[in-house]
């Protein structure tokens, strides 16, 4: 396409200083310190997107709005994204909102495989992802993409890293059955029905969790998943990490209206709301990442949001909902937790949990390991960060106990290992295309 540009070309364009090109398109975070500012910016973005006939992804958060532009027809960025980004930045500035590009990032995962074609169907099925050439992508643009790269020789020991996939209770059995049909196997039934541990053909594991069979007592005032489900007016919602609902909108305008109404209800109630707006649908969540639990106020907000969606004639599709978590088995949980908090820029919750403050990446859980597994994992984490913060992120990871184990491809990526050998690639996108082709102009041709 004639208007395609590279990531570096986008960032070099006029009026894109608020934005950073990451793994998927380019994003900007605008902080919203006062109630109501987020929904006002969202509605202005809706007007701009409609006028341009070019629609971004918008994540509305307590205290901020993330806007992501991309051009699907070119598989990347275009001059249309530059134009829309500049207009969104102008709208934010008009509202007195400041950009915070240093807080932007995207998390992805890479699986090393002897036979990619044997393992990809399992992961596409268990995650609900779609295949795109040699990788898997979340069709709703919320959760990490999965890359697959060739492995020279087998590493047969169990990984120290696996994925937890939280799914609605009423689709758990069908998800497990489909994953088994796609080449998976059950590795243990010890924890059924709390969760099912499955593995692909090469032994990489995923726990499928649906909040069934858990008997932990909750503090007074919090609702169990069963109590939440039994309440009226939340039939569209499912309890995952927090409670979530997904509505098919069939277009951007209906999504803007739903998120704006739900946001105003949240502000009136003083309850945090997390909304992910895509062209074809909206995901709503109550239950912040600090705890994820539901109380009476959060239940009431879910009920009001469902009423707003139904008033707009929108259809819920709960089967597409899922949350993702990375679980590390560790000998020294404290040391590994400190490293991953620094490497991912995550906040700590208790002694075993980490979470993305913007709720845009998978949570992290660390569990005690009884004896070493000293081979290199077949799964590692990729965190794509702005080019102007990459050095600081690497330095923070090293200061937290990490070791740089590969940097031949710096500055585009550097591999850092935690104290027990689990790896993360800290990567940047701008400049890669020019490096591969020898161009310096940032054009897409």
DSSP lists the bridge partners of residue 164 as: 207, 325
The dihedral sign for the CA sequence 102, 341, 349, 318: positive
300 vs 233: CA distance, rounded Å: 9
Q: How far apart are CA 146 and CA 286, in angstroms?
A: 27
> What's the DSSP call for residue 76?
B
Burial class (CB in 10 A: 0-12, 13-18, 19+), 421: middle
> Are 19 and 89 spatial neighbours (Cβ–Cβ below 8 Å)?
yes
Q: What was the pLDDT predicted at 439?
A: 56
Query: Which sign, positive or negative, has the C-alpha torsion 328, 331, 336, 338?
Result: positive
Helix H or strand E segment including 196: strand 195-199
Non-local CB neighbours of 395 within 8 Å, separated by 6+ positions = none
Q: Provide the strand spans (E) within 105-179.
A: 106-113, 130-132, 135-137, 146-150, 161-166
130 within 8 A of 124, measured Cβ to Cβ: yes
The answer to whether the CB of 49 falls within 8 A of the CB of 84 is: yes
Two structure tokens written together for 321: 């909902």
DSSP annotation of 231: S
Residue carrying the six token digits 């990451």: 22
Angle between helix axes 79-94 and 37-52 (nearest 10 degrees) is 150
Rounded to whole angstroms, the Cα distance separating 313 from 317 reads 13
Q: Which residues contact 397 (CB under 8 A, 6 or more apart)?
A: 339, 342, 343, 416, 424, 426
pTM of the model: 0.95
pLDDT digits (tens, 9 = 90+) for 246-267: 999 999 999 999 999 999 999 9
Long-range Cβ contacts of 401-408 (<8 Å, 24+ apart) = 401/335, 401/338, 401/339, 402/339, 402/342, 402/343
Q: Radius of gyration over alpha carbons of the chain, in Å?
A: 21
Kindly state the tokens that stand for 18.
Answer: 């608020």
**What pLDDT shows up at residue 369?**
95
- The answer for 89, left when phi > 0, alpha when psi is -120 to 50, beta otherwise, is alpha
User: How are beta strands 281-286 and 242-248 bridged, if at all?
Assistant: antiparallel
Give residue 217's pLDDT: 82
With a cut of 50, list the residues of the chain below it in pLDDT. 1, 440-445
Strands (E), 269-322: 274-277, 281-286, 294-295, 315-316
CB-side neighbour CA atoms (13 Å) of 307: 9
Distance CA 7, CA 22 (A): 8
Burial 385-404 (b: 16+ CB within 10 A, else e): bbbebbeebbebbbebbbee
CA dist., res. 360 & res. 59, Å (int): 8
What is residue 211's predicted lDDT score, i.e. its pLDDT? 83
Distance from C-alpha of 98 to C-alpha of 166, rounded to nearest angstrom: 34
Per-residue pLDDT, 444: 46
pLDDT digits (tens, 9 = 90+) for 143-169: 999 999 999 999 999 999 999 999 999
- Count of helices and strands (H, E) across the chain: 11, 29
């Amino acid at each position: 396409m004639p208007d395609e540009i590279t990531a570096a070309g986008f960032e070099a364009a006029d009026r894109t200083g608020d934005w950073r090109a990451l793994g998927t398109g380019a994003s900007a975070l605008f902080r919203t310190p006062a109630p109501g500012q987020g929904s006002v910016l969202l509605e202005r973005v809706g007007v701009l997107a409609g006028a341009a006939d070019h629609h971004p992804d918008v994540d509305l958060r307590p205290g901020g709005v993330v806007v992501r532009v991309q051009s699907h027809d070119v598989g990347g960025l275009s001059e249309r994204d530059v134009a829309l980004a500049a207009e969104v930045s102008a709208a934010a500035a008009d509202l007195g909102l400041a950009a915070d590009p240093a807080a932007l990032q995207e998390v992805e995962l890479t699986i090393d495989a002897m036979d990619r074609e044997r393992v990809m169907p399992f992961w596409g099925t268990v995650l609900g992802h779609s295949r795109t050439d040699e990788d898997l992508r979340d069709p709703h643009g919320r959760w990490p993409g999965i890359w697959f790269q060739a492995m020279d020789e087998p590493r047969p020991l169990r990984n120290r890293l696996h994925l937890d996939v939280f799914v609605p209770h009423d689709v758990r059995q069908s998800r497990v059955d489909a994953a088994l049909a796609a080449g998976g196997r059950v590795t243990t039934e010890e924890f059924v029905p709390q969760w099912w541990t499955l593995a692909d053909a090469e032994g990489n594991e995923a726990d499928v969790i649906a909040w069934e069979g858990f008997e932990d007592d909750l503090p007074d005032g919090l609702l169990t998943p069963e109590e939440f489900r039994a309440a009226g007016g939340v039939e569209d919602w499912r309890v995952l990490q927090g409670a979530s609902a997904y509505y098919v909108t069939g277009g951007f305008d209906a999504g803007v209206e739903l998120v704006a109404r739900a946001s105003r209800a949240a502000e009136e109630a003083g309850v945090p709301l997390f909304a992910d707006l895509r062209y074809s649908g909206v995901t709503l969540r109550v239950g912040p990442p600090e705890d994820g639990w539901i109380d009476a106020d959060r239940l009431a907000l879910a009920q009001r949001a469902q009423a707003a969606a139904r008033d707009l004639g929108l259809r819920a599709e709960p089967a597409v909902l899922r949350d993702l978590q990375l679980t590390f088995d560790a000998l020294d949980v404290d040391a590994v937790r400190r490293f991953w908090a620094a490497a991912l820029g995550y906040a700590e919750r208790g002694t075993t949990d980490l979470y993305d403050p913007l709720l845009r990446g998978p949570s992290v859980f660390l569990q005690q390991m009884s004896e070493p597994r000293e081979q290199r994992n077949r799964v590692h984490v990729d965190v794509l960060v702005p080019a102007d913060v990459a050095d600081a992120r690497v330095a923070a990871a090293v200061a937290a106990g990490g070791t740089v184990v590969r940097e031949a491809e710096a500055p585009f990526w550097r591999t850092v290992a935690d104290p027990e050998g689990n790896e993360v690639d800290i990567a940047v996108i701008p400049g890669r295309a020019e490096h591969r082709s020898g161009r310096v102009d940032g054009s897409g041709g």
